[in-house]
Amino acid sequence: MSIWKSVTAHRQQIDQRITSAENVLIEYLKAKEDLLLTASKVLTADFGFKQAVATRDRATISSVLENHSSRINASLMILSDLNGKVISSSNRQLNVDSSIIENLTTEKQNLNKTQLMLLDNKLYQLIVLPVQAPRTIAYSIIGFQIDQAFVNELKRLMAIEVSFLSQDNLIISSLQHPDKAHSKHFKETDNTWLLFERKIYENKLIVFTNAQGNEYTAQLSVDLTPSYTELDKLVVITLFISLFIIAITTVAFSIIAIRLTKPLYQLTRLTRDFAQGNYEHKEMTSVGSLEVSRVYDSFIKMGERIEKRESEINYQAKHDSLTDVFNRSTLLDLLSNTISNHDNTTYSSLLVMAINVRHFKRINDSLGSGIGDGALKAIAQRAKNIYQDKTLMIGRFSGTEFCLVIKLSHGESSEDLVEHFLNQLRAPLQVNNLWLNLNYRIGICTFPEQSNSAKEIIRRTTIALEAARAENTTIRAYKEGEDEAYLERLSLLEELRETMKRDNGELFMVYQPKLNLENGQIEKVESLIRWIKTDGQFVSPELFIHLAEQSGLIIKLTHWVIDTVLKQQQEWLAKNIRLKVAINISAQDISHPDFIDYVFQKISQYSIDPNLITLEITERDIMTNEDLVVSRLKHLKKTGIQISVDDYGIGQSSLGKLKQLPIDELKIDKAFILELDTSEKDQYIVKSTIELSHQLGLSVVAEGVENKASLDMLKSMKCNHVQGYFISRPIKSADLLIWLDDYE
């Protein structure tokens, strides 16, 4: 029985080793995942990086990727566009199939999570995060290679062998003979031990499945030979002693069992404590075998290393990796705790400042990101030191935005304090022997005068900073009611989202006729969206369309408009009414990868002639991501859809630029038409625009015609089409048909 107890004890020891190794492997990969997630969030939140991605500044992108890669020792950093095409990669020798990248970035549910993937016969632990500004413009892919150093480190931590396989094919192994890593070798048995068979290896398989359904196996393997050696000795001694005296054998077995059990129990308790995050242990209290003592010492050292890594990871998770100040979530938690314990403090209130560095992009563009990073570090340090005795905490919220929480004593003026702080902050900043003069904007909010909630204070401070940007002021305090207006806009946005889902008639389309000045016929109309709530409240289109563009909801809203308008055209065609309809679209719409397919799908669904559709896009939106927008407009134009430039004259383009664009029509903004009959300057501008447009082969529409004198002038200038209240207000479809009958 003592022999079998020893066998059982050995078995328990091996099981504990494998269980502990499994926990270590999972925790190790989780730590890597947290590091990747932190690094990727820092990368994708970097304002300069977003700007570089939006403008496809490959040099800056490559530099940022290399910098971030070196900071976390990442093996691979890739930036891809929305179609899976690699924009930049830190490993130019790696041959990455674009379909693999596309699969990675299209699995939305797997964003922010790591997964294993085999790239170019090398295994990587990867994470994918979108780059948003504010819509998704690209994807960042960051990863660590599971290489020989990786598995050797795992072997050192776990004290057992580890191999990674894909469909029984070896990828990497810590074994000295990797050819034995195939799973079939671990089933071999040794037939030389007495009359029994016993396994050479004990292993456990841990299967990881990535977003594409590919399975990768981590195989933990324990060589049982050393354990058998000691056991064999025990058996021989036991058999020999049993021939002489049963009593001595019993005593010997009891002593051996005790010597084995206590160290194993300590190892078991050690493993359990490690799993619970308790790494504080002393030396072994019981005397065990040399092997067990070594294993115990190895576990202690492993615990110390894991504890150190956890401490480093926790620190990195709470601090900004560049400036070493708190990140947003940590500062928010600390501020919340500070507010909760305010009754036990000596100061009367808190001043929260959101600080933005103005025109910081110029530094990165002209002096390089190295100087830019150095400047941000110096700004954080200076902001911390100005009121060193008053500053409770400082954090970095984004690329150039910091937050500072300062104690205010009773009767102390926050305005004077901020003025002094700004004067100190504006002083020339030395970075790498360069002196920089920087400008700032500051938004402020105070506790408890303006809020008792940490989240609310931060939000209101940010609102004040945004107001400073909008008003072009340096210091801006939060004003009562601004937060409510902000929340009201959020509420309105959510209400719009629900209204589109219900489709109960609150949202509807109206149509404004366009008069052909050459033949006097109504051939075209412009579709315009309206929102009247069930209680009769009218919501301005400028308001909810602007909110939809800011939130990304404009894509769904435009889809709703296209579906509604084309369905209406189908009904008109059934009544033998053939009208060209103009639909307004935004830069976000035309840049969305599904937009063109959606338009063609609806054209096919409602059997509409593409020549009856005009897409109106402003010149400002065309200049946003110009190459992509122009490419997609050309695609649409080839099918017969007409392209019109809306609000011409108030944007960034010129007629010289317009001649290169795939457009059919120019729409003169109403700012030049409303007073056309009385403004000589407007007459010169409009007349020259019409003449030059015709020379470029473009049709011209004038909007905002409100009197006959302006109409006659436009007719004499040979404008092609006009629209405005003088002809008709925007009206619903049923009223439009009646209006057309009366007009004819």
Domain boundaries, the chain: 2-24+150-315, 46-145, 328-480, 495-743
Minimum mean pLDDT range among 70-79, 247-256, 430-439, 493-502:
247-256
CB atoms within 10 A of CB 171: 20
Q: How far is CA 314 from CA 74, 127, 303, 420, 732, in A?
A: 19, 19, 16, 35, 60
| DSSP state at residue 471 | H
Q: Which residue has the higher pLDDT, 563 or 26?
A: 563
Of 532, 348, 530, the closest CA to residue 447 belongs to: 348
Do the Cβ atoms of 653 and 619 come closer than 8 Å? yes
Q: For 711-744, how does the pLDDT look when each residue is reduced to its tens digit (9 = 90+)?
A: 999 999 999 999 999 999 999 999 999 999 888 7
Residue 191 has pLDDT above 50, yes or no: no
- State phi, psi for 624 to the nearest 5 degrees: -80, 115
- Going by pLDDT thresholds of 50, 70 and 90, the confidence category of residue 542 is confident
* DSSP H helix total and E strand total for the chain: 24, 27
At position 737, the amino acid (one-letter code) is L
Q: Residue 86 — pLDDT band, cuts 50, 70, 90?
A: confident
DSSP class per residue in 249-279? HHHHHHHHHHHHHHHHHHHHHHHHHHHTT--
Q: Is the pLDDT of residue 497 over 90?
A: no
Confidence grade of residue 246 (pLDDT, cut at 50, 70, 90): confident
Residue 563 has pLDDT above 80, yes or no: yes
DSSP characters for 343-357? GG-S-SEEEEEEEEE
Q: Measure Cα distances from 608 to 304, 581, 600 in Å.
A: 71, 11, 10
Mind giving me the DSSP string for 540-599? -HHHHHHHHHHHTTHHHHHHHHHHHHHHHHHHHHHTT---EEEEE--HHHHHSTTHHHHH
Nearest C-alpha neighbor of 363 from the set 325, 400, 394: 400
Q: How confident is the model at residue 181 (pLDDT cuts 50, 70, 90)?
A: very low
Q: Which of 24, 35, 37, 33 is nearest to 277 (CA)?
A: 24
For tokens 């993937």, name the residue. 117
Least confident of 56-60, 457-461, 700-704: 56-60
Which stretch, 10-14, 71-75, 141-145, 258-262, has highest mean pLDDT? 141-145
CATH architecture of 328-480: 2-Layer Sandwich (3.30)
E-strand ranges in 179-225 read 189-193, 196-199, 201-209, 215-223
Could you tell me the fold of the domain covering 495-743?
TIM Barrel (3.20.20)
Topology given in CATH for the domain delimited by 46-145:
Beta-Lactamase (3.30.450)
Closest by CA position to 418, among listed 480, 458, 461: 461
- CA dist 216 → 111, 206, 238 (Å): 19, 8, 45
Given pLDDT bands bounded at 50, 70 and 90, which one contains residue 135? confident
As a whole number of angstroms, the distance between CA 252 and CA 231 comes to 14
At what angle are helices 2-45 and 246-275 packed, to 10 degrees?
A: 10
pLDDT bin (cut points 50, 70, 90) of residue 105 is: low
Helix (H) or strand (E) holding 500: helix 482-502
Whole-number Å distance between alpha carbons of 326 and 409: 24
Tell whether the torsion through CA atoms of 12, 15, 19 and 21 is positive or negative.
positive
Residue-wise pLDDT tens digits, 521-534: 999 999 999 999 88
C-alpha closest to that of 396 among 141, 726, 42, 682:
42
Beta partners for residue 514, in sequence order: 524
